[in-house]
Structure 1
């Protein structure tokens, strides 16, 4: 018996490495990368995912066109502005330009006038202070968790016993949050060597709860915005202004972790705290994330009183948590310029959004439905952003994710929902074209004359289960 398994004909690695296009690609790509691309194509052929005849063309295509990074750009059609799984905030045009300019040699720690070493991140700090006049000083570290860890480690009250390194951080039980991927605030605090002193109840905490917990081992008072959940009903919490009086009475620093990163109050998000208000209320330092409502890169921002921020900046841990030149450039550009995709999506013209959605639905043969967007990233939990989406059959979501461009829609109750809130308007037609390609590819396997199968498939595309679907 003759073995006719086509997989025995898969091109050998040395033959594929000898292809002229592969040799040319070797001038810019590493041999390890090229060999990995070849191995992927061979494995796909062995698994039957691609024909053996497509191995060489696939290798040539991937070595010549594949992105330098494994990250795939996507169009966010979910309606969630700060989508953690999609990299949170998209950078503004100004921030992208700043990152590109900072990618080479830059004067990040040099005074070009004197030729001597200068302080790091001065431009980003000045931009933050201009945006928030309430703050006396500012510091940028690599993320929000690092900022909180650094602040509670560096700031200790005057009454902490010098010969006893153990200290306590007082926090309300209602603020012991868990964020994404099972990351819990108490676990982070435990790494500082301090203990969390939990006060109050999950739903109700009073000022007297804090006062009774203060001892000679109390290091600081910590106020944390719960960000990704809300407790409603019979509730009570202590505001920053009340905690300020208690902190002054006992010589304690007051740290406020706000999370999302608003400089000023936003009417559309009435319960979302902002940096200026927290500092005005008396927080010594305020901590926010750069890649949430601020609309910049991942970073932890610490703003507040000069003496407190300087204590944090001079702590040995600050060196381990400092951020790089690209983040500093992006933060400065984000804060110094008004154009910002996150804020534009948050304050989108709803009338224009409805017009776009209706036109999109007509071109894509979809149905317009009411759809609330969300801030996402732990910001403004439960606050709807009224809008619309185009409804398609559920299977479109998977096909759109695998396309070029990759398009991420929302899947809800067995339907694919395309929300244009976070999609640049110039990209609308590309999504329409992607939908048309999916429809066309799904119909090509129907034999001529098979009218019943064609009708069933069209019903599936239209997503209409009523009695008049056959007429459509």
Structure 2
């Protein structure tokens, strides 16, 4: 008797080993791993048994069920005009930094001297590069983020003692983390001087004593106090005796005429700061890292503290930061200094390629530094203006475009879009109608 189920497509479900041998599926295994792909295969096979798929669709269904990227992080196109955007990863890495990460992904001589076969200073190439960029520093140290650099410095220099700081610099650095809480975690005691808007050299002098571990100066970063104000420059603080730790925040190694009010490491050290702490993933344009530069004795004291081991930077960050310091200008630098006329030309081309039903126009606008850098500074720019609801729809495209909403319009600012990616923004917009 013929099998009554012989024509049932569920009896023709491809075997798992046959599906896994398909060239496209085999490539997916190299990206996502065998177990993850097998799970997707099993789901597709069950859909065939349920009649939702044909046997010929199993491979395509398997591939469609796998994520486009190797992690849950989704690459986005930053069309907000905010250069250092914390919510999308702050500074985008340069090509050189990305290549350096790939080179460092395997075994590397991160703490090994290949000539002698002996252990060597971790990240020595990066440290030497930082000292070449900032000759006023006698020594350098790199840890895993800017807050860690500040905590490590104050722990090593003032644990069990007092950290003298102006009340006008008792800042919150983001996500609810406040300077008083960070310093308290080090075992040091905060000695607040002056007032929110005015602190004088006499305020510091009155607070100094045998219990003083260091004087801390913190750049306010993401806010400004204007009007009846006074603060003490590093030069005067350095004359008081205790070491001055200057947290400059955004990672500017030398002055930039575009950012006249942003402190930089070179100027702070020349003014007498014993130690400067900064972030690597903001104005410097590198990976998340904390940088300490300063006098050799103070930096060595910090390096030898037990906490330094807990906050050290990994080999990937060291490699990316070295490539950032030694290589061509990082994307952040190019975005900050973007030519407004060129931005307008690019916006005109984008608007011309936009479907007419979206009523695209170009408008003059401004970008900002972001990431707590240069508060109040605006960067002249241009944007393509679209209906407000386009912002949400652009975020859900296969390659999300992050625009901003202003006064009821969706603004697509190309400042932080590489010119060779303009077509990707145009393609995303073309899918909106």
Aligned to 1:277: 267
> In structure 1, how many angstroms separate the alpha carbons of the residues matched to 2:70 and 2:37?
12
Q: Distance in 1 between matches of 2:258 and 2:30?
A: 53
For residues 419 and 304 of structure 1, do their structure 2 counterparts lie closer, same or farther at Cα, with a shift above 3 Å needed? same
Distance 2:91 2:263 in 1: 19
Which position in structure 2 is the counterpart of 1:306? Answer: 296
Q: Distance in 2 between matches of 1:214 and 1:118?
A: 39
Question: Offset of 1:66 from its aligned partner?
Answer: 2.6
Gaps of 5+ in 1: 1-10, 46-50, 157-164, 440-472
- How far 1:426 sits from its partner (Å)? 0.9
Q: Which of 413, 417, 424 is the matching residue for 2:418?
A: 424
Provide the residue aligned with 1:399 in structure 2. 393
> What residue is the counterpart of 2:219 in the other structure?
225
Is structure 2 residue 345 aligned with structure 1 residue 351?
A: no
Structure 2 residue aligned with 1:193: 187
Distance 1:300 1:40 in 2: 45
- 1:38-95 CA-partner distances (Å, limit 9, x unpaired): 89999xx9xxxxx966996885134556311111111110011110001000011111
More deviation, 416-425/397-406:
397-406
Instruction: Tell me which residue corresponds to 1:341.
Output: 331
1:264 Cα deviation (Å)? 1.4
Q: Could you say which residue in structure 2 is the equivalent of 1:20? A: 19
Cα distance in 2 for residues equivalent to 1:40 and 1:408: 33
CA distance in 2, matches of 1:225, 1:316: 27
Separation in 2, partners of 1:434, 1:409: 12
**Counterpart of 1:106?**
108
Q: Are the aligned partners of 2:279 and 2:290 in contact in 1 as well (CA < 8 Å)? A: yes
- Residue 168 (1) aligns with residue 162 (2): yes
- Aligned counterpart in structure 1 of residue 377 of structure 2, from 383, 405, 417: 383
Measured in 2, the distance between the counterparts of 1:335 and 1:270 equals 21
Is contact 1:16–1:56 with CA below 8 Å preserved after alignment? no
CA distance in 2, matches of 1:426, 1:329: 26
Deviations 1:77-115 (A, max 9, x none): 001111000100001111111111111111111111122
Deviations 1:296-319 (A, max 9, x none): 000000001111111111111111
Separation of aligned partners in 2, 1:74 and 1:16: 38
- For 2:361, which of 367, 374, 378 is the aligned residue? 367
Give matches, 1:135-146, under 5 Å: 135-146=137-148
Asked if 1 retains the 8 angstrom alpha-carbon contact of 2:40 and 2:62, the reply is: no
Q: Deviations over 1:262-296 (max 9, x none)?
A: 11111111110011000000000000100000000
SS in 2 for 1:382: strand
Aligned to 1:148: 150
Q: Per residue, is there more strand in 1 or in 2?
A: 2
Q: Does the residue aligned with 2:370 lie in a helix, a strand or coil? A: coil
| Matched residue, 1:244 | 238
* Alpha-carbon shift at residue 332 of structure 1 (Å): 0.8
Report the number of matched residues. 408
Match of 1:115 in 2: 117
On the 8 A contact 1:346/1:375 being kept in 2, the answer is: yes
Structure 1 position 367, deviation (Å): 0.8
Whether the 8 Å contact between 2:286 and 2:320 is mirrored in structure 1 is: yes
Please list the CA deviations of residues 197-246 of structure 1 after superposition, one character each: whole Å capped at 9, or x if unmatched. 11111111111111111232221100000001011111111110010111
User: What is aligned with 2:3?
Assistant: none
Q: 2:222, 2:372 within 8 Å by CA — same for their partners in 1?
A: yes
Q: For residues 398 and 53 of structure 1, what CA distance do their matches in structure 2 show? A: 32
Give 1:210's match in structure 2, choosing from 190, 200, 204: 204
Match of 1:86 in 2: 88
RMSD: 2.6
Q: Deviations over 1:243-268 (max 9, x none)?
A: 0111x2xxx11100000111111111
* Separation of aligned partners in 2, 1:65 and 1:113: 44
Among 87, 94, 97, the residue aligned to 1:95: 97
User: Could you tell me how far apart the structure 1 residues matched to 2:252 and 2:270 are?
Assistant: 14
User: Which one is further off, 309-318 or 358-367?
Assistant: 358-367
TM-score, normalised on structure 2?
0.88
C-alpha separation in 1, matches of 2:218 and 2:150? 10
Task: Tell me how far apart the structure 1 counterparts of residues 67 and 182 of structure 2 sit (CA, whole Å).
Answer: 42
Deviation at 1:34, TM superposition (A): 4.7
1:324 paired residue number? 314
Q: Which runs of 5+ in 2 are unaligned?
A: 1-9
